[in-house]
Each structure stands twice: as structure tokens, then as C-alpha cells.
Amino acid sequence: MAEFSLSLNDDQQQIQKWVHDFADTVVRPAAHEWDEREEFPWPIVQEAAKIGLYGWEFLMNGFSDPTGLTLPVAIEELFWGDAGIGMAIMGSALAAAGISANGTPEQVMEWVPQCYGTADDVKLGAFCVSEPDAGSDVSSLRTRAVYDEAKDEWVINGTKAWITNGGIADIHVVVAAVDPVLKGRGQASFIVPKEAKGLSMGQKYKKHGIRASHTSEVILDEVRIPGSFVLGGSQRLEEKLARAREVGHTSQKQPAMATFEATRPSVGAQALGIARAAYEYSLEYAKERKAFGRAIIMNQAIAFKLANMATEIDASRLLIWRAAWLSKNGGFTNGEGSMSKYKASETAVRVTEDAIQILGGYGYTREYPVERWHRDAKIHTIFEGTSEIQQLVIARAISGLRIE
């Protein structure tokens, strides 16, 4: 077991500084432009690839840190720079995490690098779970995968909704029902390369925030992929389905859930980065801005808001670091992963709203970044498990009861 420590080791400190410099000099100056354009920020992702921040080696290095803290520390800095661009850089990690959680070691080595490409030829990954009628309720997926024994191919049909990098990714990791009667236990994850016939992009969503991140529907129409593209392999899938048929479909465990559990501290760290950006900005502003002949921070109403922001941000970081450490050292027992994502997401929404209040009318305009941070923060209470779903996970973990 790695020791839990609140002081980062030398490697972590170096990574923190390196990502912060990139966020400060490259990401933040570009944030407004890409938010307005609502387009995927290819030049910035390419810059990130050139320095090794966008790449499978960086991600795998983070995954293999025994303290678990490297990734949340790096992600906090990146999202401090900008959340839309941050998601464009981190979006492929969800696909990589889906492959790592469900694939064989050989599949991980084969497919994770293909979610990133190289610095000269950047590729993207997408993790496709949600559907128009199945978001929180991932056990009800309608996308079907049927095995065609004669050709040793899987045939996939369905529509995926709200997919980060959907349709522009080179590798789509698609979660589909193999045996719908078994609900979540009858699902499997598949690799669908960009070239697969029948794979296409549906509507591209126009969003409230993280507008530099691409989010689209993904249509799968009679998509055929080789039999070996099922993550974990056919034999393991058959064994899993046989076990599930024996016990029935009462268990809710499913491949998508395994991925989301593992990535929750990282999603919390995204929200934390946004909250810290808004807090730092509004603290400086409150010291400068004068009203009634004195700096507005000299009023308790403003100073206490800032005191609360600082307290909530630190509390969020402590929960994230604990969850990140536990994810590598013994696992979650009381819903700690969900606690970290829930707390940081709600904190980010509140802190960014208070930041707008502190900036007054200026805070409400697009000339200042705080309204963008507020829009960007909100997604964190929705994706990768809404705040209500996090509360459900925590409630079930602390009570041992199947709370509905």
C-alpha cells in the first residue's frame, strides 16, 4: 500500500507545475475564442500532444501512480486553464479507461494508443454508453450486439446520445446489450473503429458550457466488427453471461459502471479546477474593485463569500485526493468516489455563481471569464453520474440497503 500524504512527491510537483504552465500560457489565452467558436480545438490538442500531455503514455503513467494523486493533480491544473479545452484533451481518456477496465492486457496495448495517435497524427477516442432513453439508467441500453457465428463478426445496431468526441473519434468504445433480459449483466463493450461501415455521427449538440468539447449522437446501423473486438474476449463474455443467467438479472454491476466508478475522482478534479479559477479571479477582483470608497472585500458579505469558497474548494480537494488514493489502495467502501465527484461538482456550481455575484454586472458579461466558468461548471453535476445518482450510490453504500 502506498502511504497517503498531503504533500506531493517530487514527480507530482513537477507534473503539477508543467501542466499549470501549459494551462496558463496556451489553454487559458485560447479559452474565450474556442468557447465562442463551439468547435473542437484541434491546434491546442496538437500542442498538448507535442509536449506529451495529450497521449496514452501520460495517461498510463497517471493510472500507474500507486498514490493515485498524479491524475487529479494534473487535471485540476488543466481545467483551471479551461474546461472546454480541458475536456477536448481529456475526452479520449474515458475511452481509454473503458478499454483498460474491460479489455485483456493485449487489447489494452493494442487499442489505447489508437485512441491518441501520435504528436504528428493526433487521434481521438469516444466512450459510448448513454442513449436517448438511457442516461442514468444504464441497465436499459437498447443498442444491441448480435454475434454472427458464420462470419465470426458482431453486428451492432443502435443510437448513442451525448457522446464526447462522438463521430469524430477514431476509436469508439460502444457498450451494447448482448442479452437484454439480463439488463446490466448482459452488456459488453466493443471496439468500433472509425472506418466501420454503418457508423456515423448524428446531430452535434449546441451546449450551455464546455463548448470547445465536441458532443454528438452516434448512429450504429448494421455495423459489423470482427469477433475479437469484444473487450475481455468472447470466452470471458460467454462465462460471464452463463453466470448471470444462473443468478438472474438482480445485480446492477455492468461494464460502464466499472469505468465510471474509477474515473469519478478525476471528474471531481475537473470541477475543482474550474472552481479554483473562479475563486482566485474573484478574490483579486474584490481587492481591486471599489464601492462606497473602499475595496468591496472590506464588506463581510463579500469576504465571507470568499471564505466559504476557499473552504469548500479545500474540502473538495481533500475528498478527491482521498478517493484517488483509495481507488489504488483498497477501493471504496462508503461511496468515497461518488462523494468526491458530488462535492466538487456542486461546489464548482456554487463558487462560480458567487464569483459572478462578486464581479457584479461585469461578471454577467462575456468580456470576463466568470460567466463561462459558471456555464462550464454545470456539466459536472450532470455527466458521469448526476448529483442525484452520486447521492444514490453514497446512500446505498452507507446503508447497505437498496435505496430507490
Ligand X SMILES: Cc1cc2nc3c(=O)[nH]c(=O)nc-3n(C[C@H](O)[C@H](O)[C@H](O)COP(=O)(O)OP(=O)(O)OC[C@H]3O[C@@H](n4cnc5c(N)ncnc54)[C@H](O)[C@@H]3O)c2cc1C
- Closest CB to ligand X among 79 and 383? 383
Cβ 214 to ligand X shortest distance, Å? 9
Nearer to ligand X, 252 or 329 (CB): 252
CB 263 within 8 Å of CB 63:
no
Q: Which of left, alpha, beta for 384 (phi over 0: left; psi -120 to 50: alpha)?
A: left
**4-36: burial string, b at 16+ Cβ within 10 Å, e else:** eeeebeeebeebbeebbebbeebbbebbeebbe
**For cell 446503508, what's the residue?**
399
Q: Where are the alpha helices (DSSP H) in 198-299?
A: 234-247, 255-288
Q: CB 129 → ligand X: shortest distance, Å?
A: 3
Residue in the block written with cell 474509477: 262
The residue of the chain with the least Cβ separation from ligand X equals 135
- Tell me the C-alpha distance between 64 and 11, whole Å: 13
Dihedral angle of Cα 263, 265, 266, 270, to the nearest 10 degrees: 130
Q: Is 165 helix (H, G, I), strand (E, B) or coil?
A: coil
Please identify, using beta-carbon distances, which residue of 261 and 384 lies nearer to ligand X. Answer: 384
**Closest separation in Å from C-beta 130 to ligand X:** 3
Report whether 75 contacts 90 (CB < 8 A): yes
Smallest distance from the beta carbon of 79 to ligand X, in angstroms? 14
Nearest CB to ligand X, comparing residues 127 and 325: 127
Q: How far is the CB of 293 from ligand X (least distance, A)?
A: 45
Q: Smallest distance, Å, CB 161 to ligand X?
A: 7
Q: Which of 47, 346, 384, 388 is catalytic?
A: 384
Q: Are 275 and 75 spatial neighbours (Cβ–Cβ below 8 Å)?
A: no
CA distance 222 to 156: 6
Which residue number, 44 or 163, has a Cβ lying nearer to ligand X?
163
Say which residue the cell 487521434 belongs to.
Answer: 123
Residues that bind ligand X (CB under 6 A): 94, 127-130, 135-136, 162-164, 207, 210, 215, 379, 382-384, 386, 388-389, 392
Return the number of the residue (128 or 297) whose C-beta is nearest ligand X: 128
Active site residue 284: no
Cβ 231 vs Cβ 107: under 8 Å: yes
Residues with catalytic annotation? 384
